[in-house]
């Protein structure tokens, strides 16, 4: 008998042998869903027949409940119970150590500690892929003699290669350290958790160059044999120094600053390896040049620092390898097959057989002919007004179908508001609660309880969607994109990973590396904002589909409007962009690059500067004469702006302003801007109030935010006399604020003067939020007051501490001792988010801002009183500090109290440790 043209994902999976367990609920057996008669719709008969009439009765009244449209097969022959796809044979599963011993990490060739191998096995990594083995065993890589650049698809295991090279270095040589560079705070936080798990109880080698640790000079001895992993990022609470770290997991900015400090302090020889993850970020217009200039500085040192760069979206690895003097390795290996589909006008087309045709038809301005290309499935038209839009209907139907089958779906939307509205819509179309297993409902109630106990309280939308197994997730990778708070994002991600939540609706920033794989990835349109997504972002989004060990196959659906079809089909076939230097004149990265190498005295003469430039990626792509001219012009600009001087011998010297700028991790432009602002403050700092200090501590990143002018006017009108003087002093015109509030026009930002003015207004607007935070106003209240996401306010609170420390460094370098003292006086308030009388209480975990005030008002006014308290006595205090919540039934209220009791126990334990430490310090001081 002839084989049918189409097979199903479940058919394919049923033919394979896997040892993985599903994480998104309990998957139904193939036998439960295969008996669907021809021309019936997908998943129609998953529900047992005896339940259908009961459910029809439940929904007969039709009380405004949205129902997802069914998705039917349009192919001839047997119907497809799950996703049509071309018939093809999945390759035999990846060979294991029994076929190839080199695929075991315990093989002597890798030289890894037994404990490290065991830790990886406990996390599901029992063997490696053949490409990983080939890459690691490249000559000179495991011993750190050669640099490496490599690319592998998302989910292909590229991070493990870098992890092994990095940990092998710090374990075998206790005197060497590692820096792992990631582009976003969210990625740093996730990587920290992962690395701390795999280095648990892993000890560094106690011998080095045939000497035991005790025989080494004191300055070269490790403090302990354990591997210490520390995170460095904006808002990080870590107080660890370079000497306290074995592996530093950093954002790009922090990594660059760490390298600068190590060069200045002559401790750069302690650095053994640098990992540049997401190496394609060099292309980023705003931050890419930092990664390039950091790598170029390391290459200029001509020390034995191994540089490893990797990405899922590199095309010109040969050029990058030439720049980094590295070996390169490319692989397209994907351990889990991914099927890609294009969806428009309620029709589902396989990308592999349709995109080229649609592209041609669009270019000829002709309608696609069903005779030439036919959809494999059709989404039925919906009678619900909310689903009349074909794109929305398709997205909701695909998501609900996935969840009903027991799998996880990840929907990408263009922005925060779209995420929340889509999550609400999908949740309304999910099965009613009476159809959900009671154990699952209990687990979802636990998630609600956890969300309710976070400092910001339970989000109204999540309160409605989580019980239906749906949530939204704002990754908050940048200052102005933060949506949910960190605590909320962690709870949602964990619930999704455990299968409690089946559908997550996220912004595109989630695709940049957060490990939330899904059986089905659904793109709600091809635009993020007004712009069409690029091929690299598209690949990262689709790469979230399917993950080895979590699912056996992945599917991605790009849903688009008819109007976008031509651009989308071009996007589907577009090549990834070449990674290019960000030190070009247009991106102005060269100015900061030259400023830094002169300031840290890595290059102070023209010959040395040219030698440094030759180590940049730019040198490999720009005409030599043009490059020399650009360098000369940039040096002249630095001299004219007062950042650099040059003597009669041609020696370049950094000025105080240059030193202050580099020490504060600022760009030359930002350094000059802040220099002007602080010089003005020196002449007349408003000391009879706090608004001037809040403005000074407000990060420059806040100048990217939009101003709600009516709110600005309202807050301005409520300022006291001291605040009004600050307003005038920094250059905010109340008349302009009033005019902007009465008009819909944006603030002009064309000329340098207008750009500077807009920056001042935006910064002062953000300072008003910072003022409220430091005066114990809860994050959710500030967010509601200024009509911004809670994650935005939390991010402001986190990064302002690091920025404030930079301002203090700036004043110190400039010799402005009085202003430095004034700023230092306030920085503890900034950390605590509270007034001065609560600073001691605010040192205790979970006791910040409003919570600290409630403790104070109820008699717990210091560390000792909390340390001596009974945990159960603190539960009523924590209840008072929580945001107002809806009334709960007795069972849910009991669970909620239990969670608060666990938090109270942590608070009492931490207070005890802090109190004992404080007493020990006082005793040692008296001796």
Say yes or no: 105 and 133 in one domain: yes
pLDDT at res. 863: 87
Q: Which of 802, 833, 864 is at the close of a domain?
A: 833
Q: Which of 93-102, 141-150, 244-253 has the lowest mean pLDDT?
A: 93-102
Q: What is the pTM of this model?
A: 0.81
Q: Are 600 and 592 in contact (CB under 8 A)?
A: no
Q: Which of 347-356, 438-447, 911-920 has the lowest mean pLDDT?
A: 347-356
pLDDT band at 64 (very low <50, low <70, confident <90, very high): low
Q: For residue 822, what are the CA distances in angstroms to 389, 722, 816, 825? A: 58, 16, 10, 5
Q: What does the H/E/C string look like for 403-471?
A: HHCCCCEEEEECCHHHHHHHHHHHHHHCCCHHHCCHHHHHHHHHHHHHHHCCCCCCCHHHHHHHHHCEE
Q: Is residue 82 part of a domain?
A: no
Rounded Cα distance, 632 and 642, in Å: 16
Residues 6+ apart with CB under 8 A from 288: 281, 282, 582, 587, 589
pLDDT at res. 361: 58
CB atoms within 10 A of CB 871: 16
Q: Are 312 and 153 in contact (CB under 8 A)?
A: yes
Give mean pLDDT, residues 186-205.
Answer: 89
Q: Which of 186-195, 275-284, 367-376 has the lowest mean pLDDT?
A: 367-376
Say yes or no: 383 and 252 in one domain: no
Say if residue 541's pLDDT is above 70: yes
Give mean pLDDT, residues 479-490.
Answer: 70
What's the domain range around 141? 101-330
pLDDT digits (tens, 9 = 90+) for 707-763: 999 999 999 999 999 999 999 999 999 999 999 999 878 888 889 889 899 999 999
Residue 26 or 897, more confident: 897
Say if residue 576's pLDDT is above 90: no
746: domain CATH number? 1.10.3380.20
Say yes or no: 349 and 321 in one domain: no
Say yes or no: 771 and 877 in one domain: no
pLDDT at res. 577: 82
Give mean pLDDT, residues 67-93.
Answer: 55
Say if residue 285's pLDDT is above 80: no
Say yes or no: 507 and 402 in one domain: yes
Residue 291 or 211, more confident: 291
Say yes or no: 159 and 294 in one domain: yes
Q: How many domains does the chain have?
A: 5
Say yes or no: 857 and 792 in one domain: no
Q: Is residue 222 part of a domain?
A: yes
Nearest alpha carbon to residue 472 among 499, 506, 424, 502: 506
Q: What token pair was written down for 368?
A: 């696609």
CB atoms within 10 A of CB 369: 10
pLDDT at res. 418: 85
pLDDT at res. 12: 37
Q: Is residue 43 part of a domain?
A: no
Say yes or no: 313 and 181 in one domain: yes
Say if residue 32's pLDDT is above 60: no
491 half-sphere exposure, CB direction, 13 A CA radius:
24
pLDDT band at 562 (very low <50, low <70, confident <90, very high): confident
Give mean pLDDT, residues 664-685.
Answer: 90
Rounded Cα distance, 117 and 783, in Å: 46
The H or E element containing residue 799 is helix 790-814
Say yes or no: 130 and 213 in one domain: yes
Q: Are 873 and 842 in contact (CB under 8 A)?
A: no
pLDDT at res. 518: 86
Q: Is residue 840 part of a domain?
A: no
Say if residue 798's pLDDT is above 90: no
Torsion of CA 146, 149, 155, 160, to 10 degrees: 20
Residue 258 or 478, more confident: 258
pLDDT at res. 37: 38
Q: Is residue 119 part of a domain?
A: yes
Say if residue 415's pLDDT is above 60: yes
pLDDT at res. 92: 42
**How many degrees, rounded to 5, is the angle at CA 408 between CA 376 and CA 788?**
110
The H or E element containing residue 612 is helix 606-613
Nearest alpha carbon to residue 409 among 518, 515, 336: 518
Say if residue 52's pLDDT is above 60: no
Q: Which of 85-89, 242-246, 579-583, 644-648 has the lowest mean pLDDT?
A: 85-89
pLDDT at res. 147: 95
pLDDT at res. 331: 92
pLDDT at res. 106: 92
Residue 716 or 25, more confident: 716
pLDDT digits (tens, 9 = 90+) for 272-284: 999 999 898 898 8
pLDDT at res. 7: 41
pLDDT band at 882 (very low <50, low <70, confident <90, very high): confident
pLDDT digits (tens, 9 = 90+) for 315-368: 889 999 999 999 999 998 888 888 889 998 899 988 887 766 666 556 555 555
Can you say whether residue 729 is alpha, beta or left, with left for phi > 0 and alpha for psi between -120 and 50 degrees?
alpha
Q: Is residue 682 part of a domain?
A: yes
Q: Which of 275, 308, 330 is at the close of a domain?
A: 330
Q: Is residue 738 part of a domain?
A: yes
pLDDT at res. 552: 77
Residue 876 or 12, more confident: 876
Q: Which of 147-156, 473-482, 507-516 has the lowest mean pLDDT?
A: 473-482
Say if residue 9's pLDDT is above 50: no
pLDDT at res. 17: 41
Give mean pLDDT, residues 484-503.
Answer: 88
pLDDT at res. 237: 59
630: domain CATH number? 1.10.10.10
Say yes or no: 438 and 371 in one domain: yes
pLDDT digits (tens, 9 = 90+) for 885-900: 666 677 777 878 888 8
pLDDT digits (tens, 9 = 90+) for 91-145: 445 677 777 889 999 999 999 999 999 999 998 888 999 999 999 999 999 999 9
Say yes or no: 370 and 389 in one domain: yes
Q: Is residue 858 part of a domain?
A: yes
pLDDT at res. 24: 42
pLDDT at res. 28: 39
131: domain CATH number? 3.40.50.300
Nearest alpha carbon to residue 512 among 863, 180, 34, 184: 184
pLDDT at res. 367: 56
What is the percent of the chain where pLDDT is above 70? 82
pLDDT band at 59 (very low <50, low <70, confident <90, very high): very low
pLDDT at res. 802: 80
Q: For residue 64, what are the CA distances in angstroms to 378, 423, 469? A: 25, 17, 19
For the chain, what is the largest distance between any 2 Cα atoms, rounded to a whole number of angstroms?
94
Can you say whether residue 406 is alpha, beta or left, with left for phi > 0 and alpha for psi between -120 and 50 degrees?
left
Say yes or no: 646 and 675 in one domain: no
pLDDT at res. 513: 52
What is the percent of the chain where pLDDT is above 90? 37
Interstrand relation of 503-507 and 409-413 (parallel, antiparallel or unpaired): parallel
Q: Are 645 and 652 in contact (CB under 8 A)?
A: yes
Q: Which of 237-246, 408-417, 439-448, 857-866 has the lowest mean pLDDT?
A: 237-246
Q: Which of 805, 833, 861 is at the close of a domain?
A: 833
pLDDT at res. 39: 40
**For residue 94, which phi and psi values (nearest 5 degrees)?**
-55, 135
Mean pLDDT of the chain: 81
């Amino acid at each position: 008998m002839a084989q049918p043209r189409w097979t199903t994902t479940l058919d394919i999976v049923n033919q394979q042998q896997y040892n993985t367990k599903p994480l998104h609920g309990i998957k139904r057996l193939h036998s439960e869903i295969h008996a669907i008669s021809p021309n019936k719709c997908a998943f129609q008969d998953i529900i047992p027949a005896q339940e259908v009439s009961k459910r029809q009765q439940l929904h007969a009244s039709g009380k405004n409940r949205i129902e997802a449209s069914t998705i039917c097969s349009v192919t001839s022959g047997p119907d497809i119970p799950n996703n049509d796809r071309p018939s093809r044979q999945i390759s035999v599963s990846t060979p294991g150590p029994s076929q190839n011993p080199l695929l075991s990490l315990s093989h002597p060739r890798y030289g890894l500690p037994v404990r490290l191998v065991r830790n990886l096995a406990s996390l599901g990594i029992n063997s490696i892929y053949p490409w990983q083995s080939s890459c690691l065993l490249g000559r000179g890589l495991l011993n750190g003699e050669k640099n490496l650049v490599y690319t592998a698809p998302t989910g292909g295991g590229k991070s493990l290669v870098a992890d092994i090279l990095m940990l092998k270095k710090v374990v075998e040589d206790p005197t060497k350290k590692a820096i792992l560079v990631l582009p976003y705070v969210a990625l740093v936080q996730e990587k920290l958790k992962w690395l701390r798990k795999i280095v648990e109880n892993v000890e560094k080698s106690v011998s080095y160059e045939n000497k035991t640790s005790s025989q080494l000079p004191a300055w070269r001895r490790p403090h302990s044999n354990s591997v210490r992993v520390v995170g460095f990022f904006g808002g990080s609470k870590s107080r660890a120094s370079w000497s306290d770290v074995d592996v530093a997991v950093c954002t790009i900015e922090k990594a660059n600053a760490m390298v600068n400090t190590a060069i200045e302090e002559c401790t750069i020889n302690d650095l053994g390896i640098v990992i540049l993850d997401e190496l394609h970020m060099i292309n980023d217009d705003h931050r890419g040049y930092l990664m390039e200039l950091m790598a170029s500085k390391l290459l200029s040192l001509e020390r034995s620092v191994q540089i490893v760069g990797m990405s899922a979206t590199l095309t010109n690895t040969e050029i990058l390898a030439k720049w980094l003097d590295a070996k390169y390795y490319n692989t397209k290996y994907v351990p889990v097959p991914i099927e890609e589909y294009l969806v428009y006008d309620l029709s589902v087309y396989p990308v592999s057989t349709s995109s080229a045709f649609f592209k041609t038809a669009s270019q000829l301005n002709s309608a696609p002919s069903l005779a030439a290309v036919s959809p494999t499935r059709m989404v039925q038209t919906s009678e619900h007004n909310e689903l009349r839009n074909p794109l929305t209907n398709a997205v909701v139907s695909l998501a609900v179908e996935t969840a009903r089958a027991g799998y996880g779906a990840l929907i990408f939307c263009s922005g925060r508001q779209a995420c929340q509205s889509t999550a609400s819509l999908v949740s309304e179309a999910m099965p009613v609660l009476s159809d959900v297993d009671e154990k699952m409902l209990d687990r979802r109630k636990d998630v609600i309880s956890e969300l309710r106990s976070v400092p910001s309280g339970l989000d109204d939308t999540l309160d409605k969607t989580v019980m239906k197994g749906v949530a939204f997730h704002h990754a908050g990778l940048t200052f102005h994109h933060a949506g949910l708070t960190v605590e909320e994002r962690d709870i949602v991600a964990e619930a999704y990973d455990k299968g409690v939540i089946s559908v997550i609706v996220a912004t595109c920033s989630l695709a940049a590396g957060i490990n939330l794989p899904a059986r089905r990835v659904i793109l709600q349109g091809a635009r993020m904002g007004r712009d069409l997504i690029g091929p690299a972002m598209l690949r990262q989004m689709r790469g979230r589909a399917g993950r080895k060990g979590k699912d056996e196959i992945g599917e991605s659906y790009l849903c688009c409007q008819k109007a976008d079809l031509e651009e989308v089909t071009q996007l589907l076939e577009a090549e990834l962009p070449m990674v290019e230097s960000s030190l070009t004149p247009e991106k102005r990265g060269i100015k900061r690059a030259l400023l830094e190498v002169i300031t840290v005295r890595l290059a102070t003469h023209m010959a040395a500067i040219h030698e440094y430039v030759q180590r940049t990626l730019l040198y490999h792509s720009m005409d030599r004469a043009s490059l020399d001219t650009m360098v000369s012009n940039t040096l002249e600009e630095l001299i004219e702006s007062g950042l650099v001087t040059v003597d009669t011998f041609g020696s370049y010297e950094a000025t105080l302003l240059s030193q202050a700028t580099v020490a504060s991790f600022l760009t030359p432009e930002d350094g000059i801007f802040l220099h002007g602002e602080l010089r003005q403050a020196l002449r007349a700092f408003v000391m009879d109030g706090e608004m001037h200090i809040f403005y000074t501590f407000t990060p420059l990143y806040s100048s990217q935010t939009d101003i709600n002018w009516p709110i600005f006017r309202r807050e301005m009108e409520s300022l006291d006399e001291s605040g009004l003087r600050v307003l005038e002093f920094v250059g905010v015109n109340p008349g302009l604020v009033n005019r902007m509030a009465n008009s819909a026009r944006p603030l002009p930002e064309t000329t340098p003067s207008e750009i500077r003015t807009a920056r001042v207004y935006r910064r002062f607007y953000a300072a008003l939020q910072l003022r409220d935070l430091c005066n114990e106003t809860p994050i959710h209240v500030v967010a509601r007051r200024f009509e911004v996401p809670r994650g935005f306010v939390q991010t402001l609170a986190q990064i302002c501490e690091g920025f404030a420390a930079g301002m203090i460094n700036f004043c110190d370098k400039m010799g402005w001792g009085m202003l430095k003292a004034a700023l230092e006086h306030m920085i503890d308030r900034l950390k605590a988010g509270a007034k001065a009388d609560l600073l001691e209480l605010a040192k205790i975990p979970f006791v910040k801002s409003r919570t600290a005030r409630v403790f104070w008002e109820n008699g717990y006014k210091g560390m000792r009183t909390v340390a001596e308290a009974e945990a159960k006595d603190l539960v009523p205090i924590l209840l008072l500090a929580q945001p107002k919540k809806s009334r709960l039934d007795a069972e849910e209220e009991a669970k909620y109290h239990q969670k608060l009791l666990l938090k109270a126990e942590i608070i009492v334990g931490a207070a005890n440790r802090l109190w004992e430490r404080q007493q020990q310090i006082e005793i040692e001081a008296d001796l």
